[in-house]
C-alpha cells in the first residue's frame, strides 16, 4: 500500500484560479478548462468497469464503440459541470463562497472571474449535452433500446442536479444522484454497448465505485457549507452540521468497502475483484483527516485529494480484478 500512497502523495499546494489574462487569447484552452477536466476521470473509470464486466462474461471489447462510450460519458459529465457553474452563478452560491478550496470546491470560477459570461456558460453546457446525445444515438444499434432509457436518465440527472425546479442537490439528493449516474448508469451503459443487452452484473460491480464517487462529492461540500446554506442549498452537510456530517463520510466509506466482499461471498463477483480493497487505507486516512479537521475548511484539502485518489485507484483495480476473474 506504501506505493499507492506514494503515487497519490498529498500536499497543500495552491492552484491559481482562471483569469481573463490567462485564457483571453486561448479560446480552446478556455472551454476545455471550463469543463473541469480533472474531474472527468470519474467518468472514465466506470466505463472501464463496464467493459470489464463484459469481458468477465467472455465478450471481446469492441474498441471503436468503447472509445465512443468514453467520449459520450465524458461529454455528459462535462456538460453537467458547466451547467452546475451556470446555476450556481444564478443562485449566488459560488459568488459567496469565501471558504472554497479551488479547484475542488466553489465551482470553476470562470463566471465569477469574468472569463465566461453566464450566457456563454449556459450555451456551452447545452452544446456538450447535445453532443453526448448524438453519440448515444450512434451507439443505439450496438446496445439496444435499453440504452435510450439509461442515456435519458443520465441527462435528466445531469440537468436536474443543479437546475430548478428539480435542483436535486438542494434537496439532499446529490450523493444519490452521483452514485447512480457515475456508478450505475455509466457502468451499465458501457457494458450494454459491448454486450448488446442489459445485465445485472455491471450494476452489482459498480456499487462500491459509485459510493466512492459520492464520497468525493460529500467531502467537497464541507468547505462550501456556509455559502450553500445562505442560498438554500440544503445538502446533507448543511442539514446535519459539520460535527455529525463527518461521521456520515466514514459510514459511506464502510458501505463502499463492504460491498465487494459481500458480492464475492454471494458469488456475484469473482474473488479477484477484491483488488479494489487495496485503496481502503486511502479512504480511511481521508476519513481520519475529516474527523479531526472538518470544522476548518483549509485543513481538509488532503482529505479531498485522498478521496479522489481512492476513487480513481479503486475503479482501476476493480476493473483489473474483473478482467482477471
Q: What's residue 95's pLDDT?
A: 81
φ, ψ of residue 195 in degrees (nearest 5): -85, -30
pLDDT in tens, 39-68: 888 899 999 999 999 999 999 999 999 999
Question: Helix 242-265 and helix 280-293: axis angle, to 10°?
Answer: 170
Confidence at residue 64, expressed as pLDDT on a 0 to 100 scale? 96
List average pLDDT for each run of 10 residues in the chain, which is 325 residues long. 36 68 84 89 94 95 96 95 92 82 83 93 96 96 93 92 91 93 94 95 96 96 90 91 95 97 97 97 97 91 96 97 93
In CATH, what number does 2-324 get?
1.10.600
The predicted structure's pLDDT at residue 2: 35
DSSP 59: P
Where do the domains of the chain lie? 2-324
Largest CA distance in the chain: 57
Q: What is the pTM of this model?
A: 0.91
Q: Which CB contacts under 8 angstroms, 24+ apart, belong to 167-174?
A: 167/87, 169/233, 169/235, 170/232, 170/233, 170/234, 170/235, 171/234, 172/234, 172/235, 172/236, 172/239, 174/217, 174/221, 174/235
Tell me how crowded residue 6 is: count the other CB atoms within 10 A of its CB: 8
Helix (H) / strand (E) containing 231: none
pLDDT reported for residue 7? 34
Whole-number pLDDT of residue 8: 37
Report which of 134, 100, 153 is spatially closest to residue 297, judged by C-alpha positions. Answer: 100
Q: Give the whole-angstrom CA distance, residue 78 versus residue 65.
A: 20
The distance of Cα 95 from the centroid of its chain, to the nearest Å, equals: 23
Check residue 239 and give its pLDDT: 94
Whose grid coordinates read 442515456?
151
* Cell numbers given for 139: 451507439
Q: What is the pLDDT of residue 1?
A: 37
Residues 134-171 have pLDDT tens digits of 999 999 999 988 999 999 999 999 899 989 999 999 99
Amino acid at each position: 500500500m506504501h506505493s499507492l500512497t506514494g503515487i497519490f502523495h498529498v500536499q497543500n499546494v495552491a492552484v491559481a484560479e482562471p483569469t481573463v489574462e490567462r485564457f483571453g487569447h486561448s479560446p480552446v484552452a478556455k472551454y476545455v478548462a471550463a469543463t473541469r477536466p480533472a474531474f472527468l476521470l470519474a467518468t472514465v473509470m466506470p466505463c472501464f468497469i463496464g467493459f470489464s464486466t463484459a469481458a468477465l462474461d467472455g465478450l471481446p471489447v469492441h474498441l471503436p464503440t468503447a472509445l465512443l462510450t468514453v467520449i459520450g460519458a465524458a461529454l455528459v459529465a462535462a456538460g453537467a459541470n458547466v451547467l452546475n457553474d451556470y446555476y450556481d452563478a444564478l443562485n449566488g452560491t459560488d459568488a459567496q463562497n469565501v471558504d472554497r478550496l479551488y479547484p475542488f470546491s466553489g465551482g470553476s470560477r470562470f463566471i465569477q472571474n469574468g472569463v465566461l459570461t453566464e450566457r456563454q456558460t449556459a450555451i456551452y453546457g447545452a452544446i456538450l449535452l447535445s453532443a453526448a446525445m448524438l453519440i448515444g444515438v450512434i451507439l443505439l444499434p450496438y446496445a439496444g433500446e435499453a440504452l435510450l432509457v439509461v442515456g435519458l436518465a443520465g441527462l435528466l440527472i445531469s440537468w436536474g442536479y443543479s437546475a430548478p425546479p428539480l435542483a436535486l442537490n438542494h434537496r439532499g439528493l446529490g450523493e444519490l444522484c452521483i452514485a447512480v449516474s457515475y456508478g450505475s448508469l455509466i457502468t451499465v451503459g458501457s457494458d450494454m454497448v459491448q454486450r448488446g443487452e442489459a445485465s445485472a452484473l455491471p450494476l452489482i460491480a459498480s456499487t462500491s465505485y459509485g459510493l466512492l464517487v459520492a464520497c468525493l462529492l460529500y467531502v467537497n461540500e464541507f468547505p462550501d457549507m456556509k455559502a450553500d446554506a445562505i442560498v438554500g442549498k440544503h445538502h446533507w452537510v448543511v442539514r446535519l452540521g459539520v460535527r455529525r456530517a463527518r461521521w456520515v463520510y466514514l459510514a459511506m466509506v464502510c458501505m463502499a468497502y463492504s460491498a465487494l466482499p459481500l458480492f464475492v461471498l454471494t458469488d456475484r463477483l469473482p474473488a479477484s475483484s477484491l483488488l479494489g480493497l487495496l485503496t481502503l487505507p486511502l479512504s480511511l486516512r481521508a476519513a481520519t483527516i475529516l474527523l479531526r479537521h472538518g470544522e476548518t475548511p483549509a485543513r481538509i484539502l488532503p482529505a479531498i485529494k485522498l478521496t479522489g485518489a481512492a476513487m480513481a485507484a479503486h475503479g482501476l483495480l476493480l476493473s483489473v480484478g474483473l478482467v482477471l476473474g
